[in-house]
Amino acid sequence: MDVTIIVPTFNESLNVEELVSRTEKAVDGRAVELVFVDDSTDDTPEVIRQVAARHRLPVRLVHRAEPVDGLGGAVLEGFRVANGTWAVVMDGDLQHPPEMLPGLIDTALGGSANLVAGSRFLEGGSAEGLSDGLRVFLTHFSTRLTKLLFPRKLRDSTDPMSGFFAVRLDAIDLDELHPRGFKILLEILCRRQMEVVEVPATLAPRGGGESKADIKQVWRLTRQIVALRIGRMPGFALIGFCGAIANLLIMAALEAAGTGYLTAAIVAGVVTIIGNFLAQEAWLYHDLRAGARKLWSRFAHSAGFNALETAVRTFVLWLVVELTPIHSIIAQGLLLIAGFLLRYAYHEKVVYRQLAEIDESKFDDVGETARADGPR
Ligand SMILES: Nc1nc2c(ncn2[C@@H]2O[C@H](COP(=O)(O)OP(=O)(O)O)[C@@H](O)[C@H]2O)c(=O)[nH]1
Ligand SMILES: [Mg+2]
């Protein structure tokens, strides 16, 4: 099987017959199966079974009695059950005319990219089917915003909000994907660097029935973008915070046992540095260890940067307090935040940089991690 076409459906009984007929005609002669991942509360599953029986195209139905993660979760489920080397995702409401399938599939099978996306914004594409001005605005706004936030990963994408695309299933890690709403393509594009080719796509008006998109999707998309962008930062902050508390406790314990405060501070510092590193290794970056530099090198880079950051920060604090009217506590607060962000960036981009998979030519702009925008 070359291609599994995944069609998520939620109460789309009016469109199933036409969708299967037009798809069968369009993909004629290709090794393709169609999988409906259905969360309907109406008779859509029944209709799918009847329609499937009347067609030559292999059609399978996955009905989720207890749907998780809505549309995005349905597409993930489709990826899991797919027999194809490639998965194509297409809406079930005929907004993606099935006649676009040959172009998408042949580009996928004939090229070297691992993701082929239909773009409404390429010459020859069209977004005429966006139902109202608000949708048009939100689509353009979120496209601009995400391209700004992920310049490298979305470098070759003009339409990361598209719902019509093909992806090579061996190029994605299903456990890494955490779709929150409708924008599963964005999730795939931002989790790791994909090799993207686009083809023009038309977004037609809906067939029968009503859109299931609502204002909640804006909130979900916002959360998705935040999660994709900040990645492991909350975990990194938590480890740093626990380390600081541990540092104080160790110091207090040593001093209570009669150790001088400087010796106590040094011992507490060393223990904390090692403890933080082990926590990072075991918990936060365990999935990136294998592809990164060697253990001793990670430790040397991590501890070295932390020591350097502390020294530079203290020196800058001295400069700021001596030369400006800024209060020392305020200055230290701001410097601690800056230091934290630098440490985080350094761990993402250097300490746990994925060496093997990096093709230098692809990473010519700044502001992103190689592939570690990170799952939780
Ligand atoms: N399985 C599943 N499909 C869904 C869900 N929500 C929407 N869909 C399907 O996803 C596709 C796109 O949804 P649609 O309502 O047309 O959204 P719009 O095109 O953004 O207005 C359609 O085929 C829907 O039936 C869901 O929660 N579960
Ligand atoms: Mg639709």
Q: How far apart are CA 251 and CA 270, in angstroms?
A: 11
* CA–CA separation, 167 and 192 (whole Å): 13
CA atoms of 351 and 344, how far apart (whole Å):
10
Q: What is the mean pLDDT of the chain?
A: 92
SS3 (DSSP) at 62: strand
Mutating to test ligand 1, I would choose from 48, 79, 91 the residue with most ligand atoms within 8 A of its C-beta, which is: 91
Neighbours of 220 (CB within 10 A): 18
Q: Residue 191: CB partners within 8 Å, gap ≥ 6? A: 172, 173, 176, 177, 228, 371, 373, 375
Beta bridge partners of 33: 4
pLDDT tens digits for range 134-148: 999 999 999 999 999
Say whether pTM exceeds 0.85. Answer: no
pLDDT value, residue 178: 87
- Other Cβ atoms less than 10 A from the Cβ of 147: the count is 15
Nearest atom in ligand 1 to 74's CA: 1
195, pLDDT greater than 70: yes
Question: How far, in Å, is the centroid of ligand 2 from the Cα of 90?
Answer: 10
Residue 303 has pLDDT above 70, yes or no: yes
Q: Which has the higher per-residue pLDDT, 258 or 359?
A: 258
Cβ-based neighbour number of residue 169 at 10 Å: 16
Whole-number Å distance, alpha carbon 140 to ligand 1 midpoint, is: 20
Report the pLDDT value the prediction gives residue 374, as an integer from 0 to 100: 39
pLDDT(357) > 80: no
CA angle 298, 302, 307 (to 5 degrees): 150
On the question of pLDDT at 287 being above 90, the answer is no
Residue 95 CA: which ligand 1 atom is closest?
A: 19
How confident is the model over 190-218, as a mean pLDDT? 94
The identity of residue 214, as a single letter, is D
Rounded Cα–Cα distance for residues 226 and 313 (Å): 28
Please tell me the predicted confidence (pLDDT) of residue 358.
45
Q: How far apart are CA 302 and CA 367, in angstroms?
A: 20
Give the pLDDT confidence of 250-266 residue by residue, as tens digits: 999 999 999 999 999 99
71 lines ligand 1 (CB under 6 A): yes
- pLDDT mean over 340-367: 71
| % of the chain exceeding 70 in pLDDT | 94
Q: What is the whole-number distance in angstroms between the Cα of residue 89 and the centre of ligand 2? A: 13
- Cβ count within 10 A of residue 342: 15
Q: Is 70 exceeded by the pLDDT of residue 185?
A: yes
CA dist 23 → 29, 59, 169, 198 (Å): 12, 11, 21, 21
Q: In a 3-state reduction of DSSP, which class is residue 297?
A: helix
Contact present, 160 and 186 (Cβ < 8 Å): yes
Residue ranges of domains in the chain, CATH in brackets: 3-230 (3.90.550.10), 233-351 (no CATH)
38 lines ligand 1 (CB under 6 A): yes
Please, are residues 51 and 16 in contact by the beta-carbon 8 Å criterion? yes
Give residue 356's pLDDT: 62
The predicted pLDDT at position 372 comes to 39
**163 Cα nearest atom in ligand 1:** 12
Mean pLDDT of 208-236: 91
Which pLDDT band holds residue 72 (cuts at 50, 70, 90)? very high
d(CA 241, CA 376): 18
Return the ∠ at Cα 108 (arms to 164 and 224), rounded to 5°. Answer: 40
Q: Give me ligand 1 centre to Cα 212, in Å.
A: 6
d(CA 354, CA 373): 12
* Residue 231 pLDDT: 85
Ligand 1 center from residue 10 Cα (angstroms): 6
Average pLDDT over residues 26-44: 96
Confidence of residue 176 (pLDDT cuts 50, 70, 90): confident
User: Is residue 345's pLDDT more than 80?
Assistant: yes
DSSP 207: -
